[in-house]
Amino acid sequence: MRIGFIGLGNMGLPMARNLAKAGHEVTGYDRAEVDAGPVTLARSAAEAACGAQVVITMLPNGDILRGVADEIVPVMEAGAILLDCSTVDVATARDVAAQAKAAGLGMLDAPVSGGIGGASGGTLTFMVGGPEAAFEAARPLFDIMGAKAVHCGPSGNGQAAKICNNMILGVTMIATCEAFALADKLGLDRQAMFDVVSTSSGQSWSMNTYCPAPGIGPQSPADNDYAPGFAADLMLKDLRLAQQAAEGVDADTPLGLAARDLYESFVEREDGRGRDFSAMLPRLAARGRG
The strand pairing partners of 231, in sequence order, are 276
**Amino acid letter, residue 64:** I
In sequence order, what E strands does the chain have? Answer: 2-6, 25-29, 40-41, 54-57, 81-84, 106-109, 112-113, 124-129, 146-153
Pairing relationship of beta strands 106-109 and 40-41 according to DSSP bridges: unpaired
Of 91, 68, 89, 72, whose CA–CA distance to 81 is shortest?
A: 72
Q: How far apart are CA 43 and CA 32, in angstroms?
A: 11
Q: Answer whether 198's CB lies under 8 Å from 218's CB.
A: no
Count the neighbouring beta carbons within 10 Å of the beta carbon of residue 176: 26
DSSP state of 216: S
Q: Answer whether 106's CB lies under 8 Å from 134's CB.
A: yes
| CA dihedral angle for residue 123, residue 128, residue 132, residue 138, rounded to 10 degrees | -40
CB neighbour burial string for 37-74, b if at least 16 within 10 angstroms, e if fewer? eebeebeebbebbbebbbbbbbbeebebbbebbeebbe
Name the residues annotated as catalytic. 162
Q: How far apart are CA 241 and CA 189, in angstroms?
A: 37
Count the neighbouring beta carbons within 10 Å of the beta carbon of residue 200: 9
